[in-house]
């Protein structure tokens, strides 16, 4: 049986997940073990969990991929990537972590792959004390999801859902489907082998500490909830912007996906749910997820005419970001020269429920925007009458609560205050909360929290079938409208700008215009 990796992290910024949350012994099986996600996110997350004492000593990590690697080759490749993670005591702790690592080669559609995997897992139950518990992580292309799950079932590598111990759970990466029809088909394939309680559809945004803090801010403070409704909120803006283009050879993948599928259907929909949901009866997984899905069900059913009025898609052309010239989308590697794939989406929508009726929600995301940032801005209504003098160029930002997801995680509240020595003139001021300053720790990486939760059997931060299908239902209406012969092509915008001019026309009202982050 292996020894536990050190229980105290030399980096105090990693000591933010309580030791009490140590899961059962288990084997973590990573399909797609030679891929970028495994090396860049999954194995570093498992390393830091182990480094901080949040993994049981009886835990093995098994990589599965086509390459004919030995355990030693797999460990060597991971050592190269992990050695760059900034841990000053890496050389000391790596040998202990390396004893957890094993590799099993094979293609995903070959039954022999799973026979070999089963034999290896049985061996690890004896050598590492993993007790038959299995976590399968599908870090593979979406076309392999159904195949792997079917093969796991055929090989007897998943257990009946009614069996509490040992357990088997499967984590499925996004995208979960390409549209509503494919999502439903994938759900049928998955549930033919697994029970819903065994399926963990991951959206790493929900693992971000600052995203989870949205619920704490809303339902842990009585000062916000009474005004969190249509009577006091004028509008809500949700922005996820990226300055990168098609980095890392993503052009081919992205050209078949686009901003709507890649970001709106999952990340932005989840942020919308957390901002708009009702208070759950408790913090159990079903209670929280029930309220999230109600928000998605309250989204409107749009016609193509509705989409034309409320959605703008764009595509970047050559420009500059931070003084560096960058190519247009059509010049990116892997992108078709005549591609109409959108790299920017802006949506204006409402929710058909009692709390939010009539309040516009503005969602936008895009590539090659001026900076990488994610935030939610809640604009409260202005006072009904003006008693003080307010400079017109300073009034627009007041009565505004901004929740910063990245970077500079935290929140700020802008309001009006009287300028010293003046009789009546007001000026905008801010109260600012920064996560790192307030708690003296950096938030944990999202994958650390999410991997720990699935090992603990807590699906709160994972997406349920009904939520996936409700989000696709809304996005399908947009995709269908764009597929019409008379649909206009994506509007061009210069790389380094905040998107096409047509998006500005979506926002109307006293505080018109998108926020410049």
Q: What is the CA radius of gyration of the chain?
A: 24
Q: What is the mean pLDDT of residues 256-282?
A: 95
DSSP 356: T
Q: What is the mean pLDDT of residues 133-161?
A: 94
> Averaging pLDDT over each range in 212-226, 250-264, 287-301, which range is the top one?
287-301
| pLDDT for 168 | 95
Q: How far apart are CA 305 and CA 419, in angstroms?
A: 48
Give the E-state strand segments of 196-334 in sequence order.
199-201, 233-241, 311-317, 319-321, 324-326
Which residue in 251, 274, 281 sits closest to 203, CA to CA? Answer: 274
Which residue in 274, 266, 268 sits closest to 214, CA to CA? Answer: 274
DSSP 183: H
Q: What is the pLDDT of residues 421-456, one digit of tens each?
A: 777 788 888 899 888 888 877 777 889 999 999 999
Q: 181: which residues sit within 8 A by CB, 6+ positions away? A: none
| pLDDT for 512 | 66
Percent of the chain with pLDDT over 70: 93
Q: At 105, which helix (H) or strand (E)?
A: strand 101-105
The catalytic residues are 267
Which residue in 59, 63, 30 sits closest to 128, CA to CA? Answer: 59
Does pLDDT of 403 surpass 50?
Answer: yes
Does pLDDT of 7 surpass 80?
Answer: no
Q: 76: which residues sit within 8 A by CB, 6+ positions away? A: none
The two structure tokens encoding residue 181: 């029809």
* Upper half-sphere CA count for residue 213 (Cβ side, 13 Å): 19
Q: What is the pLDDT of residues 313-355, one digit of tens each?
A: 999 999 999 889 999 999 999 999 999 999 999 999 999 999 9
The two structure tokens encoding residue 102: 């094993």
Phi-psi region of 203 (alpha: psi -120 to 50; beta: other; left: phi over 0): beta
Q: How far apart are CA 31 and CA 412, in angstroms?
A: 41
Q: Residue 30: helix, strand or coil by DSSP?
A: strand
The two structure tokens encoding residue 66: 């086509």
| pLDDT for 379 | 93
Does pLDDT of 19 surpass 80?
Answer: no
Does pLDDT of 153 surpass 80?
Answer: yes
| pLDDT for 18 | 45
Cα distances (angstroms) measured from residue 131 to each of 30, 123, 126, 327, 335: 18, 11, 8, 53, 47
Global pTM reads 0.90
| pLDDT for 5 | 33
Terminal Cα-to-Cα distance of the chain (whole angstroms)? 51
Does pLDDT of 204 surpass 60?
Answer: yes
| pLDDT for 11 | 36
3 pLDDT band (50/70/90 cuts)?
very low
Does pLDDT of 4 surpass 50?
Answer: no
Q: How far apart are CA 178 and CA 418, in angstroms?
A: 53
Q: What is the mean pLDDT of residues 12-33?
A: 71
Q: Are 87 and 61 in contact (CB under 8 A)?
A: no
Q: What is the pLDDT of residues 366-375, one digit of tens each?
A: 999 999 999 9
The two structure tokens encoding residue 21: 């949350």
| pLDDT for 6 | 33
Which residue in 460, 29, 148 sits closest to 273, CA to CA? Answer: 460
Q: What is the mean pLDDT of residues 144-170?
A: 90
User: For tokens 């980095």, what's the residue?
Assistant: 247
Does pLDDT of 359 surpass 70?
Answer: yes
| pLDDT for 10 | 34
Q: What is the mean pLDDT of residues 119-126?
A: 96
Distance of CA 461 to the CA centre of its chain: 10
The two structure tokens encoding residue 232: 């006091």
Q: What is the pLDDT of residues 37-64, one digit of tens each?
A: 999 999 999 999 998 889 988 999 999 9
Give the pairing type, strands 311-317 and 344-349: antiparallel
The two structure tokens encoding residue 394: 């300073």
Q: What is the pLDDT of residues 74-110, one digit of tens each?
A: 999 999 989 888 788 888 999 999 999 999 999 999 9
Q: What is the pLDDT of residues 456-513, one digit of tens each?
A: 999 999 999 999 999 999 999 999 999 999 999 999 999 999 999 999 999 876 556 8
Q: What is the mean pLDDT of residues 7-12?
A: 34
């Amino acid at each position: 049986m292996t020894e536990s990796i050190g229980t105290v992290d030399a980096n105090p910024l990693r000591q933010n997940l309580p030791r009490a949350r140590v899961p059962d012994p288990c084997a973590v099986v990573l399909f797609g073990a030679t891929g970028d996600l495994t090396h860049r996110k999954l194995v570093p997350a498992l390393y830091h969990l182990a480094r901080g004492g949040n993994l049981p000593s009886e835990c093995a990590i098994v990589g599965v991929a086509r390459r004919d690697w030995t355990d030693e080759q797999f460990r060597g490749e991971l050592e190269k990537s992990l050695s760059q993670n900034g841990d000053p005591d890496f050389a000391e702790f790596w040998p202990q972590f390396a004893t957890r690592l094993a590799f099993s080669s094979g293609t995903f559609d070959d039954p022999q792959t799973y026979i070999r995997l089963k034999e290896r897992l049985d061996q690890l139950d004896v050598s590492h004390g993993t007790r038959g518990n299995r976590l399968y992580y599908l870090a593979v292309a979406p076309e392999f999801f159904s195949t792997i799950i079917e093969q796991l079932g055929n090989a007897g590598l998943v257990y009946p859902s009614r069996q509490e111990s040992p357990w088997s759970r499967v984590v499925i990466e996004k995208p979960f489907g390409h549209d509503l029809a494919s999502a439903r088909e994938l759900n049928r394939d998955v549930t033919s082998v697994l029970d819903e309680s065994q399926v963990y559809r991951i959206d790493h945004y929900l693992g971000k500490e600052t995203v989870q803090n949205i619920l704490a801010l809303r339902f842990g403070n009585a000062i916000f909830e009474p005004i969190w409704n249509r009577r006091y909120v004028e509008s809500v803006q949700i922005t996820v912007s990226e300055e990168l283009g098609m980095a890392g050879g993503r052009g081919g993948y992205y050209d078949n996906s686009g901003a709507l599928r890649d970001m709106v259907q999952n990340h932005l929909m989840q942020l919308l749910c957390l901002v708009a949901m009702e208070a759950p009866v408790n913090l159990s997984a079903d209670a929280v997820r029930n309220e999230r899905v109600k928000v998605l069900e309250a989204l409107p059913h749009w016609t193509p005419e509705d989409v034309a009025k409320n959605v703008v898609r764009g595509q970047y052309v050559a420009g500059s970001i931070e003084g560096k010239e960058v190519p247009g989308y059509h010049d990116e590697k892997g992108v078709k020269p005549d591609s109409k794939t959108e790299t920017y989406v802006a949506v204006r929508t409402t929710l058909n429920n009692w709390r939010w009726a009539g309040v516009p929600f503005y969602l936008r995301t895009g590539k090659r925007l001026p900076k990488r940032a994610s935030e939610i801005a809640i604009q409260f209504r202005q006072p009904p009458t003006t008693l003080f003098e307010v400079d017109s160029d300073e009034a627009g930002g007041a009565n505004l609560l901004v929740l910063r997801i990245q970077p500079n995680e935290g929140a700020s509240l802008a309001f009006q205050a009287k300028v010293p020595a003046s009789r009546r003139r007001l000026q905008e001021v801010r109260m600012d909360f920064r996560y790192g300053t307030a708690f003296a720790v950096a938030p944990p990486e999202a994958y650390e929290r999410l991997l720990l939760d699935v090992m603990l059997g807590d699906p709160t931060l994972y997406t349920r079938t009904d939520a996936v299908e409700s989000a696709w239902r809304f996005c399908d209406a947009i995709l269908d409208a764009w597929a019409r012969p008379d649909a206009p092509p994506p509007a061009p915008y210069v790389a380094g700008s905040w998107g096409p001019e047509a998006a500005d026309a979506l926002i109307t009202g006293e505080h018109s215009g998108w926020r410049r982050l």
